[in-house]
Chains A and B, each alone.
Chain A
Amino acid sequence: QKEVEQNSGPLSVPEGAIASLNCTYSDRVSQSFFWYRQYSGKSPELIMSIYSNGDKEDGRFTAQLNKASQYVSLLIRDSQPSDSATYLCAVFILTGGGNKLTFGTGTQLKVEL
């Protein structure tokens, strides 16, 4: 089982709709969770972070975390064509030998006009 799992997509949504991206993780000691956006050929850009169970909102983005279910999601409201990108879920575990971010494979989002 991969440490961080995402559907590769593509996920297609019409402009103005809500895009829902999902991620599951396997390590129960995972402490922090991040969503990165990556445009083709570019490096990842941090858009959201969440550490506690529940929802965290930032503009059009809402991150949701459920540690009991080992599930984290990202909602993008009022999706725009400029949101078309790959969204990477990343998990941070603070242990003696694991001070690194572990990434999923990413979900490709396409926002259609």
Chain B
Amino acid sequence: DTGVSQDPRHKITKRGQNVTFRCDPISEHNRLYWYRQTLGQGPEFLTYFQNEAQLEKSRLLSDRFSAERPKGSFSTLEIQRTEQGDSAMYLCASSLVSNPTTGGWYFGPGTRLTVT
């Protein structure tokens, strides 16, 4: 158990619906990362937060995607008007510092999204 939790673990939705995922990092970790992983691929970076500030967004994060981290604690990732191409595992990771050479990155169990 890494201490990072994600909810829900599985989500099946119809194309065009909105979905929201939640990530609760390890409590003292100030950095939080979202990744997306499709079958046969490695995780792809989406965005990250330091405390409540969203510091970087990948070009993969289209305008249908939005992420928040109110109060620098848990984070939510929302996908509007889902498409079949959004089907993937959405992974959250947290760390105390930015550089994994001095502090570990811990991944949550992931949320598997299936868009039908």
Contacts and interface: CB of A to CB of B under 8 A. Distances in A.
Interface in B88-116: 89, 91, 98-101, 104-105, 107-110, 112
Contacts of A44: 43, 91, 107
Contact of A99 (B43, B98, B109): B98
Interface of A: 4, 8, 31-32, 34, 41-46, 49, 51, 88, 90, 92, 94, 97, 99-106
A32 B99 contact: yes
Q: Shortest 5 CB-CB distances between A and B: which pairs?
A: A103-B42, A43-B107, A99-B98, A32-B101, A100-B45
Given A88-B43, A99-B55, A106-B42, 17 more contacts: A31-B101, A32-B99, A34-B100, A41-B112, A42-B109, A43-B89, A46-B105, A49-B100, A51-B101, A88-B42, A90-B42, A92-B100, A101-B100, A101-B105, A103-B42, A105-B41, A106-B41
Contacts of B55: 99
A43 B100 contact: no
B33 interface: yes
Chain B residues touching A, majority SS: loop
Contacts of B110: 42-43
Contacts, number: 60
A105 B101 CA distance: 22
Interface residues of B, number: 23
A94 B4 CA distance: 23
The residue in B44, B45, B108 that gathers the most chain A C-beta atoms within 10 A of its C-beta is B45
A21 B24 CA distance: 33
21 contacts: A31-B101, A32-B100, A34-B100, A43-B91, A43-B107, A43-B109, A44-B107, A45-B107, A46-B105, A49-B100, A49-B101, A51-B101, A88-B42, A99-B98, A100-B45, A101-B43, A101-B45, A101-B100, A101-B105, A103-B44, A106-B42
